[in-house]
Structure 1
Amino acid sequence: MRDPETSQDVLLSAVPKGQEPVAYLSFNRNGYSSYCRVFREYHEWVKKRNAERYENTVQHGKNYDAKNMLHVFRLLQMAEEIALTGQLHVRRPNRDFLLQIRRGEFEYETLVEQAEALVMRVEAAFAASNLPEAPDKQAAEHLLIRMRQDWYSAASR
């Protein structure tokens, strides 16, 4: 028998034989099952969520995960930088803007519009980029070997 706590079926009781029906029940089984799954997943997320991060989301009152949004912009901007220059700078020149996002100083809709525009710029930059389609695996392996050799020879001194 299915566990009623995790079942995604409507539970019904039997009607004794010979009884006159008083109602008919019809329901969207797939829709109900989908709703039950989403409901269960949400409550599992609530149990496991980072309380401090959630409190930050509630505190700034913008109703979005500001840390996640910061990373969206940081990663998209880094991708654009790679496409345009072929280089990657980990320290971001627009740190103040990213911290403003983290503090929830922007409206969600504004950030989504800006992110969508940035995605379009990134796609255009990669379409026009002279970067190779794939990295040179052999060159990367040789670089890794050389870095490890340098590291171990320096550590043994």
Structure 2
Amino acid sequence: MDLDNFKNRSNTEYATNKKLVGKLKKTKGKILDEIFSISHDTAFSKINCLECANCCKTTSPIFLKTDIDRLAKVFRMKSADFMDQYLHRDEEGDFVLNSAPCPFLNEDNTCLVYEARPKACREYPHTNRKNMHGILNLTLKNSLICPAVYEIFQDIGKDFRK
């Protein structure tokens, strides 16, 4: 995966994708969810996350209390100690990682805590879920992080640019 090339392409297409989001907001909810679901499946049939891991290298998931407790248990730590070592509150008050890349990212792009990973990691990039209307702006931001999301926008955009 050529992340430099992806970064250039995604930045170049950002304004176009932002206009696309405006058009997508006018699409009925269930139809929009279906459009994203189909494009999600297509993109992930071609893209292997283990060749990229850009999300793990550049951003932090939000850690819920249940995520913190589960991961603390994996490391045989108290939840408070896990939080002290790995997390801080961001400007919205959410618990996020202290640093990037993720401290649980292995050299081969696998995840040290894969089975216990946070809910946000399990669901990322959130492009095959219900109520895509509610996260279109987040999905647009994710098009700059995740090559699959970028490809999803490219795929969906073909139909909306006609």
What TM-score range do you get, normalising by the shorter chain?
Answer: under 0.3
Which has the bigger relative contact order, CA under 8 A and spacing at least 6? 2
TM-score (norm 1): 0.24
